[in-house]
Amino acid sequence: MNTPTATAPTAHPAVVSWVDEIADLTAPDSVVWCDGSADEWDRLTTQLVEKGTFVRLERKPNSFWCASDPEDVARVEDRTFICSQFRADAGPTNNWMDPVDMKTMMTEHYRGAMAGRTMYVIAFCMGPLDAAEPKFGVQITDSEYVAVSMQIMTRSGTAVWDRLTTGTAFVKCLHSVGAPLHEGRTDTPWPCDHTKYISHFPEERTIWSYGSGYGGNALLGKKCYALRIASKMAKDEGWLAEHMLILKLTSPEQKVHYIAAAFPSSCGKTNLAMLDPTLDGWTAETIGDDIAWLRFGEDGRLHAVNPEAGFFGVAPGTGLLTNPHAMDTIERGNSIFTNVALTDDGDIWWEGLTGTPPAHLTDWKRRDWTPTSGEPAAHPNSRYCTPIAQCPTVAPEWDDPAGVPLSAIFFGGRRATTIPLVTESLSWRHGVFLAATLSSETTAAATGKVGVVRRDPMAMLPFLGYHVGDYFQHWLDIGEKTSPELLPKIFYVNWFRRGDDDEFLWPGFGENSRILEWALRRIEGTAEAAATPLGHVPTPGALDLTGLKVDPTTIGAALRVDPTEWVTELRLIDELFATIGGNRLPDVLREELAALRQRLAAA
């Protein structure tokens, strides 16, 4: 093997010694320091085509189809660990293992794990390179798929190596698919191991991932760094790392508002981030679709930055009617499609892309597929991976190190019942209470049963790097750091409530602009609202429904706070609070729950 240090584009001693150490442990055939160039992209994608992982698409420039191992299709929450020094610091919502025990055990998995493979070393930066304190990472991986995906999803390569000078802090991100190619063993299109560990060492700012090639488990800048490790950094440094999209809205009067919204995985973030407003005169521009880092600006307002550089979007349901801007983005090429279907003429297809499926496809399991096959052609968690810079609606400020000042934060989930279409919180602390008790039906974005209602505080349940009770307190503390009128107003939404006929009560997608408009007009003081036990909802007539064919009783049902449904809901909130435990659950949230209970009893 070549000596890693001999070819290193950095003299940073901590990087070089770590790469040496991992190369010794994992025994790759060679080490490649990634420069993030177009040449490198071409070389690696060609290699992926040659070994059968990628199929080059005929119908989209510089784009590739790929199918994973059928067992490696989503985040593995039961294999994800927060290895803080003390179990209590991981909190009741995370899997925990002692950091020394975890490292001892995983070291044996990593030993020789890269045999017969190339080890890639990727320098990346989460957020703009010109940030006051840029957040760097270095990922070691033995997957070409990961190396090219990281080129899309992060700022990476030479520009980052140049800035990663001796002494600069970086997050160590170690990844192996866990499929060594010992003598005589041939590679598979999607190498991975049945055993998987996605481990985080928050105090050390270190990530060890083993056994999976899937996005959220393997592209370590995303969930592992920008949410789990960053949430801990943010707690220590006085900011927030959140599972949020960021959107710029311009009103017919040319007033600009920036908003952020947190929904659990597969509950509408990417779609709202690329909103095509149906309301006349409104424009929406995209800033981020999955992760937002929120810091106070000198103006005392909370500013949002998108730490990523690409979209890793849910494919099914994305089409010209629902999300034309996503379609335009991928049409421009430079994209990787994972677990969607492949058409006979070298294009991609998934459920919801067009009304009528093609007569023949190769499905995500690489089998022949026809409309009578009886199974979806694309996996429900199939994804497109594409650069944000080529999105036709991207706002110029998406790369602004200062971020954008937020007018409002929306929290929401996927609930068939109980949660109204939109509710305005009564105060920051009431908003934090609504967010803390957020709930949603589980989706295909994580392995496990789909459709089970669970509490998902701030849509961060799978992404918290520390104790959920301390996290709630941190949100309350943020509210004390500036004057109340400078804080973003908190709203609670649910696009997914269903009627007696089991149909969605609200058409969603571009029509969500009507809800955002009401919220922004509330902030400006020009929209009517009615008090409910949960908070303020639009009065009949306050939502602009011009041109929308939905009858008022349906809207009424979507907005309803039903005290009988809330009997069950309160019990589920009690359960959440009980698991957090007395000494770590902020009293403020207990008081908010008591106040809600009282308002419901009086309703």
Q: Active-site residues: which are they?
A: 267
The answer to whether 512 contacts ligand GDP (rule: CB under 6 A) is yes
The count of residues interacting with ligand GDP (CB under 6 A) is 19
Asked if residues 170 and 136 have their Cβ atoms less than 8 Å apart, the reply is yes
For position 270 contacting ligand GDP by CB under 6 A, the verdict is yes
Q: Which of 251, 306, 326, 322 is nearest to 284 (CA)?
A: 251
The string of DSSP codes covering 64-125 is EEE---TT-SSB-GGGEEE--SSHHHH-TTSB---HHHHHHHHHHHHTTTTTTSEEEEEEEE
Region near Mn ion per CB under 5 A, out of 185-193, 282-290, 390-398, 468-476: 282-290
Report the residue from 267, 309, 487, 585 that binds ligand GDP according to the rule CB under 6 A.
267
Per CB under 5 A, which region of 71-79, 138-146, 265-273, 292-300 contacts Mn ion?
265-273
* Nearest distance from C-beta of residue 67 to Mn ion, angstroms: 20
Torsion of Cα atoms, 543 then 488 then 577 then 572, to 10°: 10
Closer by beta carbon to ligand GDP, 388 or else 487: 388
Among the listed ranges 257-265, 356-364, 399-407, 422-430, the one in contact with Mn ion (CB under 5 A) is 257-265
Site string for ligand GDP, 324-363 (x = CB under 6 A): ----------------------------------------
**Contact status: 456 vs Mn ion (CB under 5 A):** no
Shorter beta-carbon distance to Mn ion: residue 266 or 418: 266
Single out the residue of 112, 392, 508, 581 in contact with ligand GDP (rule: CB under 6 A): 508
333 vs 9: CA distance, rounded Å:
30
489 burial via Cβ count (<10 Å: 0-12, 13-18, 19+): buried
β-pairing verdict for 256-262 and 404-412: parallel
CA-CA distance, 291 to 241, in Å (whole number)? 7
To the question of whether residue 257 is assigned a binding role by annotation, the answer is: no
CA–CA gap between residue 197 and residue 311 (Å, rounded)? 24
263 binds ligand GDP, rule: CB under 6 A: yes
Q: Whole-angstrom Cα distance, residue 587 to residue 292?
A: 27
Tell me whether residue 267 is annotated as binding: yes
The residues near 255 (Cβ < 8 Å, ≥ 6 apart) are 524
SS3 (DSSP) at 526: coil
CB of 255 to ligand GDP, least distance (A): 24
Establish if 499 lies at the interface with ligand GDP (CB under 6 A). Answer: no
Stretch that binds ligand GDP, among 23-31, 140-148, 276-284, 308-316 (CB under 6 A): 308-316
Tokens 């602390």 correspond to 429
Is 317 a residue that touches ligand GDP (CB under 6 A)? Answer: yes
Q: Which of 477, 474, 434, 475 is nearest to 456 (CA)?
A: 434
Cα four-point dihedral sign 579, 584, 585, 591: positive
Our CB check for Mn ion shows the closer of 12 and 248 to be 248
Q: Which one of 222, 257, 269, 536 is in contact with ligand GDP (CB under 6 A)?
A: 269
Which distant-in-sequence residues (6+ apart) come within 8 Å of 405 by Cβ?
Answer: 258, 297, 299, 301, 302, 303
Q: How many CA atoms lie within 13 A of 10 on its CB side?
A: 30
Provide the minimum distance between the beta carbon of 305 and ligand PGA in the complex, in angstroms, as a whole number.
18
Q: Which H or E run includes 576?
A: helix 563-580
CA distance 246 to 500: 33
Nearest distance in Å: CB 243, Mn ion? 6
Least distance (Å) between residue 271 CB and ligand PGA: 10
Taking each helix axis from N to C end, the angle separating 563-580 and 468-478, rounded to the nearest 10 degrees, works out to 110
Question: Shortest distance, CB of residue 173 to ligand PGA, whole angstroms?
Answer: 17
541 is in an annotated binding site: no
Say if residue 367 carries a ligand binding annotation. Answer: no
- 306 annotated ligand-binding residue: no
Q: Which does 216 bind (CB under 5 to 8 A by kind): Mn ion, ligand GDP, ligand PGA, none?
A: ligand PGA
Taking the C-alpha atoms of residue 434 and residue 569, their distance in angstroms, rounded to an integer, is 12
Residue ranges that bind ligand PGA, judged by CB under 6 A = 75, 216, 265-266, 269-270, 290, 312, 314, 445
Q: Which is nearer to Mn ion, 323 or 425 (CB)?
A: 323
Judged by CB under 5 A, the chain residues 284 through 313 that form the site for Mn ion are 290
- Give the residue with the Cβ less far from Mn ion, 276 or 290: 290
Is 156 within 8 Å of 123 (Cβ atoms)? yes
With respect to ligand PGA, which residue has the nearer C-beta, 99 or 380? 380
What is the C-alpha end-to-end distance of the chain, expressed in Å? 73
- Is 216 annotated in some ligand binding site? yes
Q: Which C-beta is closer to ligand PGA: that of 312 or that of 369?
A: 312
Which residue type is seen at 88? A
**Residue ranges binding ligand GDP (CB under 6 A):** 263, 265-271, 313-314, 316-317, 322, 495-496, 504, 508-509, 512
Extract the annotated binding site for Mn(2+): 223, 243, 290
Extract the annotated binding site for GTP: 266-271, 383, 414, 509-512
Extract the annotated binding site for substrate: 75, 214-216, 265, 381-383
